[in-house]
Structure formats: structure tokens, C-alpha cells
Amino acid sequence: MAPRPVRPAPAARAAALTALLLAAGTACGSGDGQPPTAEVARQSPAGDRIGTLSVRTAQGPRACTASVVHSPRHNLLVTAAHCVQSRRIGLLDGLVFTPGYRNGYAPHGSWPVQSVTVDPHWAAGDDPEYDVAFVTVRPVDGREIEDAVGGNPLGTGQGFGLPVAVTGYPNERDEPITCSVRTRAQSATQERFDCGGYTDGTSGSPWVTTGGTVVGVIGGYQEGGDTPGTSYSITFDGRVAELYGRATG
């Protein structure tokens, strides 16, 4: 895969971010007209639906971030396609998902990846318009992942301008970061948000609305962004709904 480049994150702004502005349905800011910088995510049951994708073990090399979404078999994650498969490398083998990972602690264990579903356009040419993947994981101790930590519904056709919280795992940190922002149109089929701190490892981070619905993942244009301060997602529309249907059919 081609992970997001690690570059120096912008300096923290003078004014601290207001915590959990998402709950009020507003975008967070620095107070000086500048884009915000992500903060360490607080621990919560809903946060345990988000975790790391790493190779073989929770402490293995990090690939990306993924999250649990509702599915009929209770075994489905969503992430960016470039996190799990590319034409250059093929399918990334030996991945495990560790929900709620923090400071070396895996509260729910690690769940081995079983299968990956990507759009044929991505499989044929890494088309950034289809940079999303659905991943099934094997049960652990007889339990499916969604039964262990819950799952967020997938939302398509929601439009732009949504307040969302975006939580992910930078490779250089051992705990997740989060930012409350508002989505913006990058194009008719791509969207963006501006918040500093989203470096290597945060591709695949879910964009979660105030109602708990996943409406994007970091990926798409520039495989999610060439700088830590602006991140992208393909618009979750009919393309994603169709892919979800294939993954759960």
C-alpha cells in the first residue's frame, strides 16, 4: 500500500479546541480563524468501534485505521481501499484489526482479517474515485466483532456540509486522535475537511455524524491527502452503497 506521508504537523494553535463541539452540531476551530488541530480522543464505548489495522499482531507494523459498521453477519469493517490492496503490492496479507487500541492495550483483542471487498475500478487501476473497502474479520472466541463492540450504520447520499467527528491512529502515536469538523465539497464525488494531525496511519479513519453514521473515510483524492492539515474522502453515494451490497450479499 501507499500510506499517507508523514510530515511535520502544524504547531498547536494558541486557543485550545473546544471539546466535543460535534455534539452541538458545529465545526471546531482554533478561535483565530485558522483550521483546528486534532486532539487525543477520549475513551468511550463508541470509540472502541474504531481501531488499528496492523500486520499479524496489535504491536505489528501499522497499516491504517478501520471501523466497525452494521452488517447482517456482524463482521464488517470499513476503511480505505489503498490500506488493504493496490496494483503495485496486491492484497496486504496478515492484517488484524484491534478495536479501541490505546497505549499498547487491546481491550477487545485483535480480529484477523478474513476477506476484502473493493470496487473493480480500484482493483483495475487504483482509481481514487473508488478508494474505499469493506473488510470482514473472523470471530474471536465465538463472537463476531459487532457483537463485541457495536457498529455504526453506513450512510450514503447525505450530501456535503455535515458536522462529523474523525478519529484515527497516526503511526507515530500510541493513542487515537480526533477532530470535530464540517465536511466540504472537493468535487462532485470527493469531499474534504481541514484539521491538522492526520498523518500516516490515519487513512481509513471514519467520518462519523452526530447521529453516529459513517459518511466517509480518509482516502480518495491523494489517497486521503498529501498534508496533515487537509484530508479527503470519496463521497459516500451509490458507488459505496453498491459495494456494501456486494460485501454483505
Residue-wise pLDDT tens digits, 65-117: 999 999 999 999 999 999 999 888 888 999 999 999 999 999 999 999 999 99
The pLDDT of residue 34: 75
Please check whether residues 84 and 117 belong to one and the same domain. Answer: yes
- The verdict on 190 and 232 lying in the same domain is yes
Q: pLDDT tier at 4 (50, 70, 90 boundaries)?
A: very low
Asked if residue 14 is part of any domain, the answer here is no
**Residue 115: inside a domain, yes or no?**
yes
Q: What is the pTM of this model?
A: 0.86
Residue 88 pLDDT = 81
Q: Is residue 3 included in any domain, yes or no?
A: no
Determine, yes or no, domain membership for 7.
no
Does residue 126 fall inside a structural domain?
yes
- Per the rule left: phi > 0, alpha: psi between -120 and 50, beta: everything else, 154 is beta
Same domain, 60 and 39: no
Same domain, 82 and 103: yes
Q: Which domain range does residue 232 map to?
A: 21-43+152-236
The total number of structural domains in the chain stands at 2
State the CATH number of the domain containing residue 137: 2.40.10.10
DSSP 62-131: EEEEEEEE--TTS-EEEE-GGGTEETTTEE--SEEEEET-BTTB-TT--EEEEEEEE-HHHHHH--GGG-
* 112-171 residue pLDDT tens: 999 999 999 999 999 999 999 999 999 999 999 999 999 999 999 999 999 999 999 999
One domain, residues 216 and 145: no
Residues 147 and 101 in one domain: yes
Instruction: Assess whether 213 and 224 both reside in one domain.
Output: yes
Whether 139 and 59 share a structural domain: yes
How far, rounded to the nearest angstrom, does the alpha carbon of residue 218 sit from its chain's CA centroid?
6
Dihedral sign, CA of 141, 143, 148, 151?
positive
